[in-house]
């Protein structure tokens, strides 16, 4: 099955965050592919970004994955309990990553509903449907991703990105026309001038 190759993670992090929009994230859970379209990302660049965990090349056991080869997962916890998935970017030694902020579920949605809420898709209320995968912790919970996936190779068999559902052995799906929104990142009020970097990107359906 085709995956995005290592070279797709080696370039400029901000541009990669934009380019990953509309790509497909595949999580193989108990033999079943859970497939989502990426609809929101944020870029973090350690060499000059005070919002990045590895700002100014701060190297700790926690940030070590950011210094590793591109095309691997960096998963950390917020509030000590919610996992957040990042895609490590740029050459080895340059600590940068793209944070996954939002997904659109496409295949395996029933399983994702069970993982996220412990109930079937039909049982979800309006609020739960609206807030299904619109945050990094929500995405990880729905895909059963935790710290065990930290440093996971994104060219492997459990978690990877691709350009089409057919790359995961699934039927092609209609892709609506999108525009790309750009704005400030969320939840980084401590980051001084980096607060204003327009490094959050999201898909907006046209029409």
CA 120 to chain CA centroid, Å, is 24
Q: What is the CATH number of the domain that holds 52?
A: 3.10.300.10
Assigned domain for 168 exists: yes
Token pair listed for 10: 């080696």
Q: What is the pLDDT of residue 176?
A: 79
pLDDT beyond 90 at 207: no
What does pTM read for this prediction?
Answer: 0.95
Assigned domain for 1 exists: no
3-state helix, strand, coil in the chain (%, to 5): 25, 30, 45
CA–CA gap between residue 159 and residue 153 (Å, rounded): 8
Assigned domain for 11 exists: yes
Assigned domain for 68 exists: yes
The four Cα atoms 68, 168, 40, 65 give a dihedral, to 10 degrees, of -10
pLDDT beyond 80 at 45: yes
Q: What is the mean pLDDT of residues 7-34?
A: 96
For residue 123, give its domain range.
6-205
Give me the number of domains the chain comprises: 1
Q: What is the pLDDT of residue 183?
A: 98
Taking all residues of the chain, what is their mean pLDDT, rounded to a whole number?
95
Q: How confident is the model at residue 167 (pLDDT cuts 50, 70, 90)?
A: confident
Q: How confident is the model at residue 1 (pLDDT cuts 50, 70, 90)?
A: low
């Amino acid at each position: 099955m085709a995956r995005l190759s290592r070279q797709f993670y080696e370039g400029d992090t901000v541009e990669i965050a934009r380019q990953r929009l509309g790509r497909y994230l595949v999580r193989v859970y108990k033999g079943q592919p859970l497939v989502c379209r990426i609809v929101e990302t944020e870029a973090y660049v350690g060499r000059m970004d005070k919002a990045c965990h590895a700002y100014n090349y701060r190297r700790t056991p926690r940030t070590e994955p950011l210094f590793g080869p591109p095309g691997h997962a960096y998963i950390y916890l917020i509030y000590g309990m919610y996992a957040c998935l990042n895609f490590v970017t740029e050459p080895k030694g340059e600590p940068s990553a793209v944070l996954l902020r939002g997904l659109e579920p496409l295949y395996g949605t029933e399983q994702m509903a069970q993982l996220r809420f412990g109930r079937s898709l039909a049982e979800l209320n309006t609020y739960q449907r609206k807030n299904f995968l619109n945050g990094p912790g929500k995405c990880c919970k729905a895909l059963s991703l935790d710290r065990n996936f930290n440093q996971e190779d994104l060219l492997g068999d459990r978690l990877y990105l691709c350009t089409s559902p057919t790359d995961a052995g699934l039927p092609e799906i209609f892709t609506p026309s999108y525009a790309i929104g750009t704005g400030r990142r969320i939840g980084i009020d401590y980051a001084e001038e980096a607060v204003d970097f327009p490094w959050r990107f999201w898909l907006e359906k046209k029409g």
